[in-house]
A and B are shown apart, each in its own frame.
Chain A
Amino acid sequence: MRRIKILLGVSTLAWVGLVIRLFYWQVGSFQKLFLEARNQHLEKEEISSPRGTIFSSDNFPLVLSKRVYSLFIQPNQIDNPQEVYKKINQILPQDQKSFFEVVSNKKINWYPLAKGISPTVKESLENQKIPGIGFEPQWSRFYPEASMAANLLGFVGGDENGNEKGYFGLEGFYDRELKGISGWRFWERDLFGRPIIIGQEWGRQSKAGRDLYLYLDRSVQFLVENELKEGIKKYGAISGSVVVMDPLFGGILAMASFPSFDPANFAKEDKSNFPNPVVSFNFEPGSVFKPIVMAMAIDLGLVNPSTVCDSCSGPVMVGEHLIKTWNEKYYPNSTMTEIIQHSDNVGMVFVGRKVGIKNFVNYWEKFGFGKKTGIDLEGESASFIREKNSWKEIDLATASFGQGIAVTPIQLTRAIAAFANGGKLITPKVVKKIKDGEKEIWLNNGEEKQIIRPITAKVITQMMVNAVEKGEAKWAKPKGHKIAGKTGTAQIPVAGHYDEEKTIASFVGFAPANDPKFVMLVTLREPKTSPWGSETAAPLWFEIAKGIFQIWGIPPS
């Protein structure tokens, strides 16, 4: 009986102990044990997704994401460093000294040996069955056309958490669209880590970034970049920009600036080249602004092409300031057409006075100056203008020939496009459509406003055609083509005064004048061979235009 009691007591204690232990496992340590068990029989895989591709208008990938790998070594798992080095070096040459330095240090658990390895190289290394090496998958941006349109495209770097982030241009502006959504997957595995086919599997699907399709014409972009590089060299300029736009819809057909950068190696590049000058650089336009002021006067009915300037026979005094023409040649009784043809500053003061400050500021805003154009590129800046009530007579006089005001190249291009499209202000745009898998989203962003009467646009076009046919740059014009354009030479303001030597030479225009297919602005900063736009920017504009005529098959009119 006593033995039975002892047995019962021991048994009861054992059961109580078992219950306590079970309670400890199932309640007290549930979380910890659950996680441990889950880690043992569940496998997790992060599925990174590629960033979207950017295509030119001919569906050519300008930027795409490629799968690459980083190679790492685990020195504490390498027994024969000489053999490992030999095998790796055959496929992927390594610096012997630094390799052995790393491998001999057994305190290092993990060391990245190489980055950006292609899948083919990875496969070759894997076939060698090298102990103590591993691979980490990554995505890398690849540029088949190298640094073409670098300022327009931008580049991809890392954010503060090391995640991919687009900077500048399209990569910056469309970062959210281009960026894919990473996914993950859990599945049950057996003792050897093999997936259990009837086990559970769940996760979130990764989603590749959206693709962008641009208006950009790759052939025109290639032409523009080559010509601009040549032009900068030929005319000894320190930098230059070209923008080619469709004047009807505002699609950007080409956009280039030099000096530029290589987006694949942006870390080694000069950071000052990252912003796109076409959208972020403010400059005094000079004479290329004259057709815009003339349009104000014509649209208001204050002048017409044959109106005669009665103060064009010599320099004109505005307050305390004497205004002269650029070449100190004067043309008494010039008509409005001749004022644009001769790029006559005195004649433009006559026009500016007729327009007046109030109308000038109103039209300035109508033409879209003073605010961003809304182009889909990161880093656009808005030009500025002084307050309406702080204008003086001299400010209006200088503004009438494009000095004392600032614009961005893209603002000026779209303002001139209004003459080519019957008087409408359009929004410049780079992306035509976004593709999300099979779904296509056509972008029709931006407003379109009638800012001047169609007849005004027609009259100004005629004046600009006349300026090309008979103006200073007529020698460079391609024969047989009807081009509307205007030269510009703006001095550069330095510390409150204008630098006598340094200029920004420019030419803006569109062609063919009777059925415009493109509007283009060329700017060259500080050309050395000649400071004048008619001798630098204009011939470059015509050279590019000749190329565009050939590419698009535009015959002489």
Chain B
Amino acid sequence: MKKNPGIIFLVIAIILGIAQLYFCSLLGTSGIELGKIEEKIQILEAQNREIEGEIARLSSLAEIQKRAVSLGFQTRYAFSNYSSQKVIAQNQ
């Protein structure tokens, strides 16, 4: 059977065209995905910073003092330190 070079060329061209279309659509989809990922990264970074700030706020000394007082702890003004030369307790 005699091979027609024109037909072979046409088949190759069609295959290449289909491949081109396939890869273009694939890249287009990847582009959308990439855009979404970048947007998500920005959102997550912003949320991460917000959480860092919130953790810092909740662990601030003023906040801890407020919570401690609400739990019944006393401020340091309620205590005094005494020092004495007398022996109060001694090991036998």
Chain A positions within 8 Å of B28 at CB level: 190, 194
Partner of B53, one of A123, A144, A547: A144
In this complex, the member of B30, B47, B61, B83 whose beta carbon has the largest number of chain A beta carbons within 10 angstroms is B61
B67 within 8 A of A: no
Closest chain B CB from A216 CB (angstroms): 13
Closest chain B CB from A391 CB (angstroms): 48
Q: A144 touching B56 by the CB < 8 A rule?
A: yes
Interface locus among A195-203, A361-369, A463-471, A514-522: A195-203
Known interface pairs A197-B27, A547-B76; A219-B61 also in contact (CB < 8 Å): yes
Q: A61 touching B34 by the CB < 8 A rule?
A: no
Q: A119 touching B43 by the CB < 8 A rule?
A: yes
Chain B positions within 8 Å of A142 at CB level: 53, 57
* A-B pair number, CB within 8 angstroms: 71
The B-contacting residues of A in range 123-171, CB under 8 angstroms, are 123, 137, 142, 144-146, 148
B92 within 8 A of A: no
Chain A positions within 8 Å of B61 at CB level: 145, 148, 218-219, 222
B32 within 8 A of A: yes
Chain A positions within 8 Å of B60 at CB level: 144-146, 148
Q: B53 touching A64 by the CB < 8 A rule?
A: yes
Chain A residue with Cβ nearest B31: A194
B24-52 contact mask (Cβ, 8 Å, vs A): 1 or 0: 00011011101100000001011101101
Closest chain A CB from B42 CB (angstroms): 8
Q: B34 touching A197 by the CB < 8 A rule?
A: yes
Closest chain A CB from B81 CB (angstroms): 7
B71 within 8 A of A: no
Partner of A190, one of B31, B43, B82: B31
Q: B62 touching A119 by the CB < 8 A rule?
A: no
In this complex, the member of A148, A195, A479, A550 whose beta carbon has the largest number of chain B beta carbons within 10 angstroms is A195
* Chain B: interface residue total (CB-CB under 8 A): 25
Q: How far is the CA of A396 from the CA of B77 in the complex (A)?
A: 44
A480 within 8 A of B: yes
Partner of B62, one of A118, A146, A480: A146
Q: How far is the CA of A190 from the CA of B27 in the complex (A)?
A: 11
A120 within 8 A of B: yes
Q: How far is the CA of A556 from the CA of B84 in the complex (A)?
A: 10
Q: A196 touching B83 by the CB < 8 A rule?
A: no
Chain A positions within 8 Å of B46 at CB level: 67, 119, 137
Known interface pairs A123-B43, A194-B28; A144-B57 also in contact (CB < 8 Å): yes
- Interface residues on chain A, size class: 20 to 34
Chain B residue with Cβ nearest A546: B81
A477 within 8 A of B: no
A65 within 8 A of B: yes
Q: How far is the CA of A556 from the CA of B61 in the complex (A)?
A: 26
Chain A positions within 8 Å of B31 at CB level: 190, 194-197
Q: How far is the CA of A556 from the CA of B62 in the complex (A)?
A: 28
A531-557 contact mask (Cβ, 8 Å, vs B): 1 or 0: 000000000000000110010000010
Q: A556 touching B83 by the CB < 8 A rule?
A: yes
Q: How far is the CA of A56 from the CA of B52 in the complex (A)?
A: 16
A458 within 8 A of B: no
A186 within 8 A of B: no
Closest chain A CB from B68 CB (angstroms): 13
Q: How far is the CA of A547 from the CA of B53 in the complex (A)?
A: 28
A453 within 8 A of B: no
Chain B residue with Cβ nearest A221: B61
Chain A positions within 8 Å of B57 at CB level: 142, 144
Chain B positions within 8 Å of A479 at CB level: 82-83
In this complex, the member of B35, B53, B59 whose beta carbon has the largest number of chain A beta carbons within 10 angstroms is B53
Chain B positions within 8 Å of A146 at CB level: 60, 62
Known interface pairs A195-B35, A218-B61; A120-B47 also in contact (CB < 8 Å): yes
Closest chain A CB from B85 CB (angstroms): 10
Chain A positions within 8 Å of B59 at CB level: 60, 144
Closest chain B CB from A267 CB (angstroms): 21
A119-B50, A144-B57, A148-B61 are known contacts; what are 12 more A-B pairs with Cβ within 8 Å?
A60-B56, A64-B53, A66-B49, A66-B50, A67-B49, A144-B56, A144-B59, A145-B61, A145-B62, A197-B34, A219-B61, A547-B76
The 7 closest A-B pairs by CB, nearest first: A144-B56, A67-B46, A119-B46, A480-B83, A194-B31, A222-B61, A144-B57
Binding site for B on A (CB under 8 A): 50, 60-61, 64-67, 118-120, 123, 137, 142, 144-146, 148, 190, 194-198, 218-219, 222, 478-480, 546-547, 550, 556
